[in-house]
């Protein structure tokens, strides 16, 4: 994504805010909880490996959930989530580093810091088990190079989820040495969601890489579709947070983690 590319105003605003956010203070050093091991443990237990996202709101959400994020996180783990994702972006997603810290203290599963990291200093904000780097955003002018950021994150102990949306971005991620790749079904230029994106892009990812299908997964049928297309795990926010209706987060999570074993749940 170079600066001349057409992108949704909300995403332009997210990028501008990320550019202005400074780094943290002291260099972070983390002993991470293994994400691939958490996925394997979930699968061995008969649960679909799922990263459930604590996402109070977003540019595409129907409203905002104001319940205690730690209680939401605990409810997701009770529903069988193998790992959690916590938004730390404050302006468009209602997140914070303090929320992530409190969630990570309260649970024993790996926690992904979901934010828009553009340069090395922004790694030094809070300890997390996994950090997100978005290939598309790191192609913008004035950002650090993906390969350099990946190395800087690993030096601090983070596992790194490298997010892609196209086959070309997967190629970039692999060349940079990514071992965990996400394919985002949400197009960050238009903000529309198409599960066909994962089906198209997944074959480009080698077996040795941990592959995560991200965004737009709503129903047990969607879970089955992404798993059939090769997802080792799924990242789900909106369908679990259910911003408009504020339904039971444990039940919303369980409906997806049980998708491949539960033949009684209607697909609604
Ligand atoms: O979710 C948004 O509205 C959004 C808007 C602009 C940039 C990024 C956005 N989301 C980031 C994500 O990657 C999702 O939160 C995550 O994949 C979960 O997606 P979903 O299950 O569709 O909430």
pLDDT tens per residue across all 268 residues of the chain: 555 567 889 999 999 999 988 877 799 999 999 999 999 999 999 999 999 999 999 999 988 989 999 999 999 999 999 999 999 999 999 999 999 999 999 999 999 999 999 999 999 999 999 999 999 999 888 899 999 999 999 999 999 999 999 999 999 999 999 999 999 999 988 899 999 999 999 999 999 999 999 999 999 999 999 999 999 999 999 999 998 887 999 999 999 999 998 766 555 5
Least Cα distance to 112 among 164, 52, 172, 170 occurs for 52
For residue 32, list its beta bridge partners: none
| CA 180, chain centre distance (Å) | 11
Question: By the 8 A CB rule, do 121 and 96 touch?
Answer: no
Active site positions, annotated: 53, 55, 114, 163, 184, 214-215
Q: Ligand 1 pocket, 65 CB below 6 A?
A: no
CB 83 near ligand 1, within 6 Å: no
> Does ligand 1 lie within 6 Å of residue 13's CB atom?
no
Residue 184 Cα to ligand 1 midpoint, Å, equals 8
pTM: 0.95
Q: Could you tell me if 252 and 76 are in contact, meaning their C-beta atoms sit under 8 angstroms apart?
A: no
- Expressed in angstroms and rounded, the spacing between residue 216 Cα and the centre of ligand 1 is 8
Is any atom of ligand 1 closer than 6 Å to the C-beta of 184? yes
């Amino acid at each position: 994504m170079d600066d001349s590319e057409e992108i949704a105003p909300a995403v332009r605003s997210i990028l501008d805010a990320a550019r202005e956010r400074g780094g943290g203070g002291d260099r972070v050093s983390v002993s991470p909880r293994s994400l691939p091991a958490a996925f394997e443990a979930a699968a061995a237990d008969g649960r679909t490996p799922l990263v459930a996202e604590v996402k109070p709101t977003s540019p595409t959400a129907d409203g905002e959930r104001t319940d205690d994020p730690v209680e939401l996180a605990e409810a997701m783990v009770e529903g069988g989530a193998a790992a959690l994702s916590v938004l730390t972006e404050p302006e468009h997603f209602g997140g914070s580093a303090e929320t992530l810290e409190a969630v990570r203290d309260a649970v024993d599963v790996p926690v992904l810091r979901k934010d828009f990291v553009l340069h090395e200093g922004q790694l030094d904000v809070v300890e997390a088990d996994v950090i997100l780097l978005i290939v598309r955003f790191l192609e913008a002018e004035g950002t650090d190079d993906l390969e350099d950021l990946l190395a800087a994150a690993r030096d601090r102990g983070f596992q790194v989820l490298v997010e892609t949306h196209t086959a070309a971005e997967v190629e970039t991620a692999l060349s940079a040495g990514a071992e965990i790749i996400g394919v985002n079904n949400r197009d960050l230029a238009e903000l529309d969601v198409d599960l066909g994106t994962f089906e198209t892009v997944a074959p480009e990812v080698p077996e040795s890489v941990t592959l995560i299908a991200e965004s737009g997964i709503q129903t047990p049928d969607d879970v089955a579709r992404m798993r059939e297309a090769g997802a080792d795990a799924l990242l789900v926010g909106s369908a679990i947070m259910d911003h408009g209706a504020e339904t039971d987060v444990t039940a919303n999570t369980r409906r997806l983690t049980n998708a491949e074993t539960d033949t009684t749940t209607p697909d609604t």
